[in-house]
Amino acid sequence: MKASSLLRTRKHLAIAAVAVVLVAAGAGLWWQQRMGSQDGVLRLYGNVDIREVQLAFRQPGRVAQMAFDEGDAVTAGARMAVLDAEPYRQALAAAEASVRVAQAELDKLQRGLRPQEIVQAQATLGQAEAVARDAERNHRRQSELLASGASSQRTVDAARAARDQAIAAVEAARAALSQAREGFRREDIAAGKAKLAAAKAMQAQAATALADTVLSAPSDGTVIARVREPGSMVTSHDTIYGLSLDAPVYVRAYVGEPDLGRIAPGTRVRVRSDSSDKVYRGRIGFISPRAEFTPKTVETTDLRTDLVYRLRIVIDKADARAGLRQGMPVTIEVDARPAAKGA
């Protein structure tokens, strides 16, 4: 009996010792977490947000070349795809010809008539005046013959009409000579300038369309989708490539209202992921002015029904794509003292 009692006593002591160790460990963990908050380290949780671009031509046509495949790295300005440009080269040639025609017409208006044309207008006026003098003499002669009965009224009327037509022809020739000497009207010149401007605008539009047959990378990045192949007919805005940009790289995170006073735009942060021990550096770039319910994809120590504020963290350019991937969950550490009570 004494041996069994001793055995039970030892067993109770062992259980009690284990309980003490567990309590001490729990207290130590609680104290560590409490001190971790009190020493100014604020831990937030979020996901990596890398921007993507859907690349497309602004012009329709047939795809002639595709230079990159999925997974390829591209640099800003890289020639990624090309359309068959022959129709656009022909349109540009036609637009350039229209510009030359409009320029020639404007030059003609601004320079006026050639000296030979002025001489021709003078000769036309002289010829009209001669015809008018002859018509006037014939009218007088027929009028005198009518008085003596040697001519008829009908003949006199015809001579008068011929005289009037000759006088009108003289006035027209005189006006033509004046116009030839003065040049074209200012309104005609203004219209010629407008036609030239319109032709140049069409030329610029055709040149832009030709340039748009080349699809270039807008920034450094990685091809994540190759949607079309050479020979495909595409319309404007059809996606050709999907591109993931190297920079900027953001982290979307949320902070609870009690900790809102501990951070501000520009605050430096450390970002860690589960995939490596690397510490990424960044800063808080944006804090939403509007509260919202915690998204289900965000893990925090608070209840999911708590109101939080969304914030965006900008990763430093040197660390932008060093192991970070779209949607990757990360932990954010902020060196910030707890907000003062009643502040």
Q: Residues 151-184: pLDDT tens digits?
A: 778 877 788 888 888 888 888 888 877 766 666 6
The mean-pLDDT minimum among 5-14, 63-72, 183-192 falls in 5-14
Return the higher-pLDDT residue of 268 and 129. 268
Report how far residue 312's alpha carbon sits from residue 294's, in angstroms, rounded to the nearest whole number: 15
Tokens of 143: 């009028």
Structure tokens that stand for 176 in this block:
């033509």
CA distances from residue 143 to 64, 139, 157, 164, 199 in whole angstroms, order as listed: 87, 6, 9, 15, 61
Number of H helices, E strands in the chain: 5, 12
The winner for highest mean pLDDT among 4-13, 231-240, 256-265 is 231-240
The dihedrals phi and psi of 275, each to the nearest 5 degrees, come to -85, -15
Q: Do β-strands 307-315 and 279-293 pair in parallel, antiparallel, or remain unpaired?
A: antiparallel
* Phi, psi dihedrals of residue 48, rounded to the nearest 5°: -70, 135
pLDDT, mean over the chain:
81
Task: Compare 218 and 326 and report the one with higher pLDDT.
Answer: 218
Torsion sign (Cα): 225, 282, 328, 252: negative
- Say whether both 237 and 269 belong to one domain: no
| Per-residue model confidence (pLDDT) at position 31 | 38
Amino acid type, 265: P
The answer to whether residue 298 scores a pLDDT higher than 70 is no
Same domain, 102 and 194: yes
State whether 71 and 143 are in the same domain: no
Does the predicted model carry a pTM greater than 0.85? Answer: no
> Do residues 148 and 294 share a domain?
no
Distance of CA 71 to the CA centre of its chain: 26
Output Rg (C-alpha) for the chain, integer angstroms. Answer: 46
> Which position has the token pair 């004494």?
2
Q: Tell me how far apart the alpha carbons of residues 189 and 180 are, in angstroms, rounded to a whole number.
A: 15
In a domain, 4, yes or no: no
Residue 174 inside a domain? The answer is yes
Same domain, 269 and 219: no
Could you tell me if 168 and 313 lie in one domain?
no
CB atoms within 10 A of CB 114: 11
Q: Which residues form the domain of 239?
A: 52-84+212-245
Q: Give the total number of structural domains in the chain.
A: 3
Distance between CA atoms of 241 and 321, rounded to whole angstroms?
20
**216: CB partners within 8 A, 6+ apart:** 77, 78, 79, 80
pLDDT digits (tens, 9 = 90+) for 90-137: 999 999 999 999 999 998 888 766 666 667 777 887 888 888 888 888
Predicted local distance difference test score (pLDDT) of residue 155 = 79
Cα separation, 205 vs 212, whole angstroms: 11
Q: Are residues 223 and 254 in the same domain?
A: no
Rounded CA separation 237/61 (Å):
11
Do the domain assignments include residue 118? yes
**What's the pLDDT at 4?**
53
Q: Which two tokens stand for residue 250?
A: 């953001």
Closest to 326 in 3D by CA, of 236, 237, 243, 239: 243
Q: Which amino acid is present at 99?
A: V
DSSP annotation of 156: H
What does the pLDDT look like over 63-95, one tens digit per residue? 999 999 999 999 999 999 999 999 999 999 999
**255: three-class secondary structure by DSSP:** strand
CATH code of the domain containing 294? 2.40.30.170
* Segment holding 290, helix H or strand E: strand 279-293
Average pLDDT over residues 218-237: 94
Mean predicted confidence (pLDDT) in 38-67? 90
What's residue 331's pLDDT? 92
221 pLDDT exceeds 50? yes
Verify that 45 and 58 share a domain, yes or no. no
What is the enclosing helix (H) or strand (E) of 131? helix 115-148
Could you report the per-residue pLDDT of 272-294, keeping only the tens digit for each? 988 888 899 999 988 888 887 76
- Phi first, then psi: give them for residue 322, nearest 5 degrees: -85, 70
In a domain, 61, yes or no: yes
Report whether pLDDT(60) > 50.
Answer: yes
Q: Ramachandran region of residue 149, left (φ > 0), alpha (ψ -120 to 50) or beta?
A: left
Q: What is the CATH number of the domain that holds 72?
A: 2.40.50.100
* Within a domain: 124: yes
Give the mean pLDDT of 307-325. Answer: 82
